[in-house]
Amino acid sequence: MEIDAQPNVSKVSLKDFNANNFNRGAGKVKEVCWYIIKVVFFLSPLPFPSSVKAFLLKAFGARVGSRVILKPRINIHFPWKLDIGNDVWIGEEAYILNFEKVIIGDNVCISQRAFLCGGNHNYKDPSMPYRNGPITLLDGCWVGACCFVGPNVVIGIDAVITASSVVTNSLADNGVYRGNPAAFVKYRW
C-alpha cells in the first residue's frame, strides 16, 4: 500500500456550526425547569409512580394517554415534543432525544435502554448543520432492549424490533426485524 505524500486535510469546520435556526419549542426558563424536574423525577433510580411522571410530562406540554408505565431513569429531552398513546410501557434507561416530534401510539412497548434519536447532522456540509427528524411508533409495536431508532423513521403497526437492532429506515407493519441495519426476519402474526 502506497502512502500519499500529501497529508489529507479535514474539511470539517465546527466553528461554523449555527444552531440559531433550530426551534427548541420552548423558552430557556421552561427548558431549565424541565431539566430540574427530569433529574429529580425521571433520571432518578427511585420508582416514582408513573401517574406522577405522566402528570409532570403533561404539565410541560406532552400528550400522555391512560395507563402509561414509565420506569425509572427515563431520559426525555423535550416533553413538549412528545405524544404518548394509551397503554404504553417505557422501560428503564430508555432515552428519547426528541429534537423533533416523537409520536408513540397505543399499546407500544419501548424496552430498557432503547434510544429514540431524532437528532442528526448533515455530514456532507463542513459546518455539520442539524438534520433532525421526527420518529413515529405506530400502535402495537415493540422496540426491544438497547435498540437505536433514528430520525425520520416510522415503525409499523405491530412491528417488533429485536434487542440491539439499529433502525435507520421506516419499517412495515407486522414484521419482526433484527440486526444492523434492521432487516425483516418474519411476520409477527
Asked, for residue 16, whether it belongs to a domain, the answer is no
Residue 32 is which amino acid? V
Residue range 109-134: average pLDDT? 97
Helical H runs in 38-120?
50-59
Total domains, the chain: 1
Predicted model pTM:
0.94
* Mean pLDDT of all residues in 27-38: 98
Q: Is residue 68 part of a domain?
A: yes
Residue 6 belongs to some domain of the structure = no
Summarize pLDDT for 80-95 with one digit per residue, the tens. Answer: 999 999 999 999 999 9
Q: Residue 39: give its domain's CATH number.
A: 2.160.10.10
Percentage of the chain modeled with pLDDT above 70 = 96
Task: Quick: pLDDT tens for 38-50.
Answer: 999 999 999 999 9
Note whether residue 81 is domain-resident: yes
Residue 94 lies in a domain: yes
151 in a domain, yes or no? yes
Alpha-carbon span 47 to 99, nearest angstrom:
26
Query: Would the pLDDT of 161 be above 70?
Result: yes
Question: Does residue 130 lie in a domain region?
Answer: yes
Asked which of 17-26, 92-101, 106-115 is least confident by mean pLDDT, the reply is: 17-26
Q: Is the pLDDT of residue 7 over 80?
A: no
Whether 4 shows a pLDDT value over 70: the answer reads no
Q: 2 in a domain, yes or no?
A: no
